[in-house]
Amino acid sequence: MTEQTDSVQSVEKKPTKMRRAWIVAFAVVVIIAGVFIGSRIYASSVSAQAEDVPTLSQPPVAKQSNGAPEVGSDSIAGDTSGTWSVGSGSFAGYRLDEVLNGANVTVAGRTEDITGSLTVQEDQLIAADLALQVDTISTDSERRDQYFWTTAIDTGQFPEATFTLAEPVDVSASRDGGAQTFNMTGELTLNGRTVEVSTDVEAVFNDGQAQLVGQIPMTWADFGVEAPNLGFVAVEDDGFIEFSLNVAQN
């Protein structure tokens, strides 16, 4: 009788162990699926929250077919010669792509702590000196920002990034209030390193006011920054420094 009882108990235990194994396996699958789906939802949410690429918000003066400003236009560019100072509403920062648990995420960090001036002489942009506070650039994630401020870039030692124009630029197409795209070359200093960069800039000048927008392609390693790869998140090696400058004629 004892042997028969032990045999019955053994048969009863096997299904129980199998059920537990299936439960554990199912739970693991659910957790993995949850992490995967959650990361996809997070990636979609973060990308949706990323600020748009800067574009011109100041409309150019309406033109006639001969290129002259339309009669009754509220403003014209006038003489653009002189010094132009960066004013309120300006911003700059970075844009990069990262892979979070297999999901592609676009991140944009920005700050309005940007100062500087432009100098125009006889329809030539002959000087541009700009500075932005890297240690105030922020995104939607405080943890990401802390990593950027302390590990990616030593903002304690290098809190500021600067750009200096290297070659004059013809801005004559903006003289009568038209929108213009031109290439601008200069020296970008970030994280204590200076690199020559080139970018296309969109600009419009209207009656003593102007806006310039653009993106500067960059490779993080050029500035001594190692793109982080922490396993669950990896940042692409390339990105952009982007800006939107509202400037006023002095």
* Residues 88-144: tens digit of each pLDDT: 999 999 999 988 767 888 889 999 999 999 999 998 999 999 999 999 999 988 888
> What is the number of residues in the chain?
250
Beta bridge partners of 108: 95
pLDDT of the residue at 184: 95
pTM score, whole prediction? 0.74
pLDDT of the residue at 124: 94
pLDDT of the residue at 231: 66
Q: Is 30 exposed, middle or buried (0-12, 13-18, 19+ CB in 10 A)?
A: exposed
Q: Is 62 helix (H, G, I), strand (E, B) or coil?
A: coil
What is the 8-class DSSP label of residue 176? T
Cβ atoms of residues 223 and 191 within 8 Å: yes
pLDDT of the residue at 88: 93
The runs of H, that is alpha helices, within the chain are 2-49, 142-147
Task: Give one DSSP letter per residue of 6-29, joined into a string.
Answer: HHHHHHHHHHHHHHHHHHHHHHHH
Please state, in angstroms and as integers, the Cα–Cα distance from residue 101 to each residue in 218, 226, 229, 236, following that order.
Answer: 25, 19, 11, 14
Q: Which residues of the chain have pLDDT under 70?
A: 1-15, 17-50, 58-78, 101, 175-176, 230-232
pLDDT of the residue at 172: 86
